[in-house]
Amino acid sequence: MAKCADDRKEEAEKYKFTANEHFKNQRYNLAIEFYSKAIENYPDEAIYHGNRSFAYLRTECFGYALTDATKAIELDKNYVKGYYRRASAYMSLGKYKMAVKDYENVVRVRPFDKDAKLKMTECQKVVQMLLFQKAIAVDDKKSVADSINLDAMTIEDNYNGPALEDGKVTEKFVVELMEHYKEERKLHKKYAYKILLDIKVYFEQQPTLVDVSIPDDSKFTVCGDIHGQFYDLMNIFKLNGLPSTSNPYLFNGDFVDRGSFSIECIFTLFSFKLLYPDHFFMSRGNHESVTMNQMYGFEGEVRSKYTSQMGDLFTEVYNWLPLCHCLNNKVLVMHGGLFSEDSVSLDDIRKTQRNRQPPEEGIMCELLWSDPMPGTGRAVSKRGVGLQFGADITKKFLDFNNLDYIIRSHEVKDAGYEVAHAGLCITVFSAPNYCDTMGNKGAFITLRGDTMEPKYVVYAAVEHPPVKPMAYASSPLLRLFS
């Protein structure tokens, strides 16, 4: 017999209570599961959609968060938290003007809400800042790199950290740099700028899709997101050995943001790239972009440890990072995933113009943002950018391009990795206990050139100094998410 409305509401409330407990304990995926059960039982309650929206925000499913918040507002136009949630989703998606409108709605409903007024004002400042930047921008603007004068930078007598040798990265320099960073010390700005200028020149000469040859008897390691977790990066090298000509690595994007040791991570990785250019590889992730860096801490960290000018230089460097790598003509490695069209070829990727901020659609966007999903076909992205693709899409792409499987990153996985689509789509995520809250393992993949069969190494997080994730994201943008 069908349950009456009161019974359904009562059961939904029980699910909501369980979901709230999971949320409090930072088990966001379980919270989403139970909020969804509450919605299934009683879909007309705005709070259930609003709460699930908040959980989706925590798991960076900004597209789903936006949909839920909008549904909550449709159900109850006076539900203030719905506007808050939707504004946060809009901000995460870079839709700042839409976020302002939602905060204005909150202020209309609650004119004496000081927090709402503050967030509206801060959001308006962000919009004005972006408009100003757009107004002063010119197409032929001189690059930041061209404005750097290294000769004017002096090395103080009391500096006793690692030093470049004749302006070059050496093995000694990288080893000393890592030890220097472990002691929570800073690389001199002259050497930091020199590394950035040199790596920019190098990446400018690289193709959008890099072909990598792995000899039959050689090991090759693929790592996923690092997200500023320097001490976990050091643990990878402890477990798997330092990069070298005989121990090559590929780091598959999202080197920075979230974790508060992003500077240490990126200069370590760039140093290894300069030291072993043919045996150390780096792909761009969606967090190697201005919007993400403003939102999730890297911009603030660079400004705190160096200068805002260096932040602009990082942007120029990130624009030249390759978008993907093809290993032995068999395995394609990208940060995000596959495409909205079945006919995308490797040559199409090679022809993609990458020296820019990620667009909202097309090959570059999808390489950085897309995610696999169970089942078949394509679906709207849970993130609000890119798309979700099923097993049939993966199979078609691989067959069309004569590839064996793909490796991608971009998503937290409890075990550090996940094998999907009948083994054709592998996710690897190398930041354990992501943001000090997720409790996940980290993983990396090793391959041998003769078999190209993936092997997985799983590890737990290691201790780090007591600096919280996103410690440098103290701008108005961070407060918009509180």
Active site residues: 287
Q: E strand or H helix at 331, and its extent?
A: strand 331-334
Q: Distance between CA 154 and CA 28 in Å, rounded?
A: 49
Inter-residue contact 247 to 277 (CB < 8 Å): no
Alpha carbons within 13 angstroms on the beta-carbon side of residue 412 total 21
Give the Cβ contact number of residue 334 at 10 Å: 27
Burial (CB count <10 Å: 0-12, 13-18, 19+), residue 431: buried
Alpha-carbon distance of 252 to 332, in angstroms, equals 11
80-92 helix and 96-109 helix, angle to the nearest 10 degrees: 170
Q: Is 4 exposed, middle or buried (0-12, 13-18, 19+ CB in 10 A)?
A: exposed
Closest by CA to 165, choosing from 274, 245, 241, is 274
Nearest to 275 by CA among 437, 142, 162, 394: 162
Angstrom distance (rounded) from CA 125 to CA 280: 41
Q: Using CA atoms, how far apart are residues 81 and 318, in angstroms rounded to an integer?
A: 36
Cβ atoms of 227 and 301 within 8 Å: the answer is no
Q: Which residue carries 């004005």 as its tokens?
A: 128
User: How many helices (H) does the chain have, and how many strands (E)?
Assistant: 19, 14
Distance CA 398, CA 345 (A): 10
**Cα 414 from chain centre:** 17
Angle between the N-to-C axes of helices 114-136 and 96-109, in degrees from 0 to 180, rounded to the nearest 10: 150
The answer to whether 234 touches 430, Cβ cutoff 8 Å, is no
In this structure, the dihedral spanned by the alpha carbons of residues 182, 319, 472 and 384, taken in order and rounded to 10 degrees, is -120
Read off the amino acid at residue 262: S
